[in-house]
Structure 1
Amino acid sequence: MIRTARLSAALAAMVTAAAAGCGGTTSAPITTSGLSGTVEVVAKWSGVEQANFKKVLERFEKKTGVKTVYTSAGDDVASFLNQKISGGTPPSIALVPQPGTVAEMARRGNLKPLGGEALDAVTANYSAAWKDLGTVDGKVYGLYLKAAEKSICWYRTDAFAAAGVQEPKTWEEFVAAARTLADAGITPFAVPGGSAWTLTDFFENVYLQVGGPDNYDRLATHQIPWTDPTVVEALQLIGRLWSAPRMIDGGNAGALKIDFSQSVAEVFGEKPKAAILCEGDFVGSEITKAGRYKVGVTARYLPFPTIRGAKRSVVVGGDQAVALKDDKATMALMAYLASKESAEIFARGGGFITPNRTADPAAYPDDTVRGLATLVGSADVIKFDMSDLAPASFGGGTNADEWKLLQEFLGNPAMDVNALAARLEAAAAKDF
């Protein structure tokens, strides 16, 4: 289990490097000649993220002659990889968003430790803190390609203007703004309940404010039960918001049919139906792709509201590349993924923050993304996505217990939250 304190240090180091322009850091040289074969890369990325990543793979192909194949794993990367491994057909490389899954796979012997130029590239281009995040039992297995800021809500400026709403800073202001929007005939929220990871993100942001950073760490490692009063209180706040009249696009039942991509269209598409989407920095690139609204002008973000005077807090996520094979072509691609060139190609597409300290901040497409890096750096508290730290059976897949229970909650937010907390605890006791 990766401790969130180390992630706080890593994010601080990453933002400091970006602000400094990464001057004086030299990337490790990578051999790209004399290679051949095919490398299969598996990830859950779709849409803009997938398109940007394919640009990285295409550049690698041109430099080396190695063919790359991108395979989508869907939302449940861990389950997909387990099936491939069990069937004797593991991919060459996987992009995994759950540190707990990486640790489990490494200890089962499913992953190959990095060495040679791949390890040299990680050492040269990442801070010691980020390198440590990809380390399991003293060996480096993973490198982080991206860090996502998940403690923001995106909104349409035209909707706020029509209702006379200002950017809320506190939870009370947030709820009041939603009611004002609803009274003006504008549905406040698009909630992508069909992609249940968005529900865990929302819970984690509320819980970090209500429970505080220490309890967040304890709950993430199941050192306190899900029946703890702080969990119940967080669920109560969410339930009141989700059950209020006219709050959710499509109603509670309809929200369960909306996935993440559709939720972006529900707010920022050609025929918008809602005003607010609470999700990470990667929404920005999806808005740009949709084309109607301009990020930073007609589509803006606000920090997740503080609750009862709690310190400004940020929940982050991240995807790390790991190798399931150790042939020369696979390790060459791992080395390239850790390079300055790779990071800058990906960064130009927008929608995420790179932990690669050699990447030029000018590679980001706009001030909005650079501002998100600053937002992370100015937070009083930074914590890694709790569900990604949990065992995959609890928080990291489409059939994960936390995912399913929060979907039930979205469908019926008036349910007894004490009973819901008890069911979450029973699942955690089994899965952890």
Structure 2
Amino acid sequence: MMRRRTTLLTGCTALVLALGATACGGSGPVSAGGGDKALSGQTVSVAGVWSGTEQKNFQKVLDAFTAKTGAKTQFTSTGDNVSTVVGSKIEGGNAPDVVMVPQVGVLQQFAKNGWLQPLSATAQKSVTAGFAPVWRNYGSVDGTLYGLYFKAAHKSTVWYSPDALDQAGVKPPAAFDDLLKAGRAVSDSGLAAFSVAGQDGWTLTDWFENVYLSQAGPEKYDALAAHRLKWTDPSVVRALGTLGTLFKDKELVAGGQKGALNTDFPGSVEKVFGPEPEAGMVYEGDFVAGVAKDQFGRAIGEDADFFPFPKVGAGHAPVVSGGDAAVVLKDGKNHQAGMALVEYLATPEAAAVWAGAGGFLSPNKKLDLASYGDDVTRATAKSLVEAGDSVRFDMSDQAPAAFGGTKGAGEWKILQDFLRDPSDPKATAGRLEAAAAKAYQG
């Protein structure tokens, strides 16, 4: 790696203002976003996976930061492989100041590589006051807070066509067995029950995680996520068996297993909310709403709605989440001003900008729910915030990328094979354990 670059701001006052600390002349603390243009003339470079509408909406947040501090911003979209892109930029001496990291495992990798600056006292104070402790834990490595979770995803939502459920004479179910019964009623009325995006292995990990969290409980979930529990544990086999009950039922899955394996995530939403519906329900996170609205013109809350992922057996309804954490790179050319941006992102004011634009959830409990533009998003955000420390981060996002985040390999590929043939959960658990052991050891 290139040697660490030291950023020299123009004068002590600019430095301490960027950090939100006490100014040199004995004046009081000034926070980033104080509206006094304290960072005029500086530029903060930001990298993240977002593109399209997400990038445009995040730019609105960055523009609000500029309006308050005077600092310009420059956003670069990395694509999905953020760790490789950022690593290359660091090696080339062109590290961004701030990175929006989409996976816990990547944040931990960055910290262990020595790339990250611990968050400032101002940012830490905001996290303590506005976020459930679980979000601080996921942003920390070995007790040091490096990441501020600005954008979250609620991955325990089942989206449905109200017309399809009405035609089948069923209501949104609260238990997994009732979900299967409701699905069969939908199938009997002329549509398949579920559209499953099996072409994208990450969606199958989300299916498994919701079933496992509810059925096995949070302690086993945490142990499995850290690989303190082997994937051959009976709880894993049991969860795979529960999921296999759905996957193997051709009446429940649009196009059967073959059709599901040829359906990507946008296609799975289209099969429910597109011009020629093939299914009544699609499971995935709150971001389904954005696709249904933006691509297919569905009115959220009217002809597209959701219900919480049902509890499995005697368990509780799960709340699985994902999210993007803002981290500051030591090697950034202006990492001090980058820290000021993260301090701003920690405020409800910053979250309100994107909340008003849509396609966004914040784990910041200080954000007024009225900031969201529709009742469905408001309800989803409320569910996420009220879940508090019962929220569990996407398990595959906590794993090494070789196991939990690589197309055609590891958990993604093994669960696709399980969707193709769900007859032997025990054998699938064995394959998952072999892949996990190799990845975690590496």
Q: TM-score normalized by structure 1?
A: 0.84
Match runs of 1:273-292 below 5 Å: 273-290=278-295, 292=297
- Say which of 92, 115, 122 aligns to 2:120: 115
Q: 2:362 — aligned with what?
A: 354
Q: 2:393 — aligned with what?
A: 384
Q: 2:3 — aligned with what?
A: none
User: Offset at 1:295?
Assistant: 1.5
Q: 1:237 — aligned with what?
A: 242
Kept in 2, the 8 Å contact 1:243–1:414? The answer is yes
1:319 aligns to 2:327 (yes or no): no
Aligned-partner SS, 2:215: helix
Q: Give distance in 2, aligned partners of 1:70 and 1:199.
A: 31
Q: 2:24 — aligned with what?
A: none
Residues 135, 210 of structure 1: CA spacing in aligned structure 2 closer, same or farther, 3 A cutoff?
closer
1:44 aligns to 2:49 (yes or no): yes
User: Offset at 1:64?
Assistant: 4.8
Q: 1:423 — aligned with what?
A: 431
Q: Give distance in 1, aligned partners of 2:389 and 2:144.
A: 31
- Say which of 289, 294, 300 aligns to 2:299: 294
User: Offset at 1:145?
Assistant: 0.5
Q: 2:109 — aligned with what?
A: 104
Kept in 2, the 8 Å contact 1:28–1:124? The answer is no
Residues 217, 67 of structure 1: CA spacing in aligned structure 2 closer, same or farther, 3 A cutoff?
same
Residues 60, 53 of structure 1: CA spacing in aligned structure 2 closer, same or farther, 3 A cutoff?
same
Q: Give distance in 1, aligned partners of 2:235 and 2:144.
A: 37
User: Offset at 1:309?
Assistant: 2.4
Q: 1:396 — aligned with what?
A: 405
Residues 386, 64 of structure 1: CA spacing in aligned structure 2 closer, same or farther, 3 A cutoff?
same
RMSD: 2.9
Q: 2:200 — aligned with what?
A: 195
Deviations 1:104-152 (A, max 9, x none): 2112112222337655665665566644543333433211102322112
Q: Give distance in 1, aligned partners of 2:210 and 2:152.
A: 16
Identity %: 45
Q: 2:217 — aligned with what?
A: 212
Q: 2:380 — aligned with what?
A: 372
Deviations 1:77-96 (A, max 9, x none): 33443444445443332211
Residues 157, 129 of structure 1: CA spacing in aligned structure 2 closer, same or farther, 3 A cutoff?
closer
User: Offset at 1:226?
Assistant: 0.7
1:177 aligns to 2:186 (yes or no): no
Match runs of 1:151-170 below 5 Å: 151-170=156-175
Kept in 2, the 8 Å contact 1:393–1:399? The answer is no
- Say which of 60, 73, 76 aligns to 2:78: 73
Q: Which sits farther off after the overlay, 131-140 or 374-383?
A: 374-383
Aligned-partner SS, 1:292: coil
AA partner of residue 259 (structure 1):
D
Q: Give distance in 2, aligned partners of 1:350 and 1:99.
A: 24
Q: Give distance in 2, aligned partners of 1:65 and 1:196.
A: 43
Kept in 2, the 8 Å contact 1:143–1:320? The answer is yes
Deviations 1:188-223 (A, max 9, x none): 222222332221111001112222222212211212
Q: 1:247 — aligned with what?
A: 252
AA partner of residue 72 (structure 1):
S
Q: Give distance in 2, aligned partners of 1:413 and 1:79.
A: 34
User: Offset at 1:416?
Assistant: 2.6
Q: 1:30 — aligned with what?
A: 33
AA partner of residue 427 (structure 1):
A
Q: Give distance in 1, aligned partners of 2:204 and 2:88.
A: 26
Q: Give distance in 2, aligned partners of 1:312 and 1:64.
A: 43
Question: Who wins on radius of gyration, i.e. which is larger?
Answer: 2
AA partner of residue 228 (structure 1):
D
- Say which of 139, 143, 153 aligns to 2:144: 139
Q: Give distance in 1, aligned partners of 2:76 and 2:228.
A: 37
Deviations 1:352-388 (A, max 9, x none): 4312344222111122223224434269943222112
Aligned-partner SS, 1:285: helix
Q: Give distance in 2, aligned partners of 1:86 and 1:394.
A: 25
Q: Which sits farther off after the overlay, 52-61 or 68-77?
A: 68-77
User: Offset at 1:405?
Assistant: 1.4
Residues 270, 46 of structure 1: CA spacing in aligned structure 2 closer, same or farther, 3 A cutoff?
farther
Kept in 2, the 8 Å contact 1:182–1:247? The answer is yes
Aligned-partner SS, 1:188: strand
Q: Which fold has the larger relative contact order, with Cα–Cα distance below 8 Å and residues 6 or more apart in sequence? A: 1
Kept in 2, the 8 Å contact 1:36–1:64? The answer is no
Q: Which sits farther off after the overlay, 151-160 or 396-405?
A: 396-405
Deviations 1:284-318 (A, max 9, x none): 23333235322222211111122222223322222
AA partner of residue 357 (structure 2):
G
Q: Give distance in 2, aligned partners of 1:266 and 1:128.
A: 38
Structure 1 runs not aligned, ≥5 long: 1-26
AA partner of residue 359 (structure 1):
L
Aligned-partner SS, 1:313: coil
